[in-house]
Amino acid sequence: MPNDASELPLPALTGDSSQVAWAFQIRRQVDQSFDRISVAVASGTNRYKALTPEETAVLLAVVAEHRGDVLGKCSAQYFLEHWQDPVDRAQRLIHTDPRWLALVEARAARNPKPDAVAPIRYMGFDDAKGVRMFKFGRLPANPSTPVYKISVHVQLLLSHGISFQDAPSMCAAILASREASSCTITEEDCLSFIALRPAKADRKAPRRKAATAEA
């Protein structure tokens, strides 16, 4: 029977001949999975970036410890029951180890990420005396979330042929270009929005199904 790729002295597998043959192949895949993790740790790739040399040495020792423990099992049934997916199982074994989790926390403390600012979203509108007020804010909304309000006279939209469906897009563009928390759309704003829209001839016409020939 061929030897495993590992340089570790591996025990002979116990079980019936079919179990041993199958488990031998699985054990070789397990060994290769741990080897790939060790290479990634040593080279600082994937999730192992930005570790200090000391942290890398610690993690390599963790991988070697788990590798030796698993490959030291002699029961063929152990590999058949627990290691049918060696790549995923080896990664989970390392990534749930408290020592790796401590390294992750230490790395995060050295390289804190700035809080991501949630994008401004359209939140609906209110109508009052011929004026439509479009509301925008950051999600998830809470009582302290600022609400940005853009007001527009309905007659102004109608006179320029701007649909109520297009109005939120126009308001969002205006809000992005101004720092005020509220404002009123002017005729100049409407004209600027219209100028940026594609001409009707440039808009794609809806597809029509080809008429089927009657028999």
DSSP string, 17-71: HHHHHHHHHHHHHHHHHHHHHHHHHHHT-GGGTT--HHHHHHHHHHHHHHHHHHH
The reported pTM is: 0.53
Beta bridge partners of 137: 121, 147
pLDDT tens-digit profile of 148-164?
889 999 999 999 999 88
pLDDT tens-digit profile of 87-146?
999 999 999 999 999 999 999 998 887 666 677 888 889 998 899 999 988 777 677 778
Residue 117 is predicted with a pLDDT of 66
Provide the mean pLDDT of the chain. Answer: 85
Would you place residue 215 in the very low, low, confident or very high pLDDT band (cuts 50, 70, 90)? Answer: very low
Q: Is the pLDDT of residue 14 over 60?
A: yes
Q: Where are the domains of the chain?
A: 17-110, 120-200
Tokens 């080279």 map to which residue? 43
Q: Is the pLDDT of residue 211 over 70?
A: no
pLDDT tens-digit profile of 40-57?
999 998 899 999 999 999
Q: Is the pLDDT of residue 192 over 80?
A: yes
For residues 100 and 204, give the distance between their C-alpha atoms in angstroms, rounded to a whole number. 54
For residues 127 and 152, give the distance between their C-alpha atoms in angstroms, rounded to a whole number. 10
Q: Is the pLDDT of residue 1 over 50?
A: no
Would you place residue 180 in the very low, low, confident or very high pLDDT band (cuts 50, 70, 90)? Answer: low
Helices 17-43 and 53-71 pack at an angle, to 10 degrees, of 180
Q: Is the pLDDT of residue 209 over 60?
A: no
